[in-house]
A = this chain, B = another copy of it.
Amino acid sequence: MPFRMTEMVGCEFPLFAFSHCRDVVAAASRAGGFGVLGAVSYTPEQLEHELAWIDDNVEGKPYGVDVLIPEVQAVDNSVSADAIIAQIPAEYRDFTRNLLRECGIGDDTGAPQGGSQAPNTSLGQELLEVSFNHPVRLIANALGTAPPAMIEAGKKHGIPVAALVGAKEHALKQVEAGVDIIVAQGGEGGGHCGDVSTIILVPEVIEAIEQAGADIPVLAAGGIMNGRQMAGMMAMGAAGAWCGSVWLASPEAETSEVFRQKMVEAGSRDTIRSKHRTGKYSRQLRTAWHERWDAAGLPALPMPLMSLLAEPVLRAIDAAAVAGNPEARQLATYWVGQGLGLVNDQRGVGTIVQDFKTDFAAGFENLAANFE
Interface residues of A (CB under 8 A from B): 2-3, 167-169, 186-188, 194-201, 203-204, 207, 222-226, 228-229, 231-237, 267-269, 338-339, 341-342, 361, 363-364, 366-372
Instruction: Find out whether the CB atom of B236 lies under 8 angstroms from the CB atom of A229.
Output: yes
Instruction: Find out whether the CB atom of A269 lies under 8 angstroms from the CB atom of B195.
Output: yes
Known contacts A196-B338, A200-B342, A341-B168; A364/B368 CB under 8 A: yes
Instruction: Find out whether the CB atom of B236 lies under 8 angstroms from the CB atom of A366.
Output: yes
Give the Cβ gap from A95 to chain B, nearest Cβ, in Å.
27
CA–CA, A339 and B203, complex, Å: 10
CB < 8 Å neighbour of A367 from B204, B222, B235:
B235
Residues in B with CB closer than 8 Å to A226 are 203
CB < 8 Å neighbour of A197 from B169, B198, B232, B371:
B198
Residues in B with CB closer than 8 Å to A224 are 199
CA–CA, A185 and B364, complex, Å: 23
CB < 8 Å neighbour of A235 from B169, B203, B366:
B366
Residues in B with CB closer than 8 Å to A223 are 197, 199-200
CA–CA, A183 and B181, complex, Å: 35
Instruction: Find out whether the CB atom of A199 lies under 8 angstroms from the CB atom of B232.
Output: yes
Residues in B with CB closer than 8 Å to A366 are 234-237
CB < 8 Å neighbour of A199 from B167, B229, B372:
B229
Give the Cβ gap from A226 to chain B, nearest Cβ, in Å.
7
CA–CA, A100 and B371, complex, Å: 54
Give the Cβ gap from A250 to chain B, nearest Cβ, in Å.
19
